[in-house]
Amino acid sequence: MSPRRLLLTWGLLLGVLAIEVGASFLPIGRPARPLLLLPALLMVGMVAAIFMQIGRGPTVVRLFAAAGLLWLLILLALGSLDPLTRIVYPVPAMERATPAANPP
């Protein structure tokens, strides 16, 4: 890897970091604030592509990386699906309060 490419990547990473930190001071609503992860994901891609040279290794390397990403997405999607979408949580106290809603 050429020193110029490495320096450029380092500078870009710090630039994206500065944008990320700067954006955190913008008046973004609480539900939308996880969008601040987008610059971080860009930085992760840059580290994988340039520092870890994912494109240079054997094909199985990219397969393992893709598998890791896929399983992470499955973990996050399945794990958060119920907590993020459920709106009614029956709890013992509620059951006692509304016995008709829980037929034997």
Contacting positions for other proteins (CB under 8 A): 1, 3, 6, 9-10, 13-14, 17, 20-21, 24-28, 30-31, 33-34, 36-37, 39-41, 43-44, 47-48, 50-52, 57-58, 60-61, 64-65, 67-69, 71-72, 75-76, 79-80, 83-84
Q: Which of 36, 17, 34 is nearest to 76 (CA)?
A: 34
Nearer to other proteins, 84 or 88 (CB): 84
Separation CA 76–CA 29 (nearest Å): 23
Separation CA 37–CA 55 (nearest Å): 24
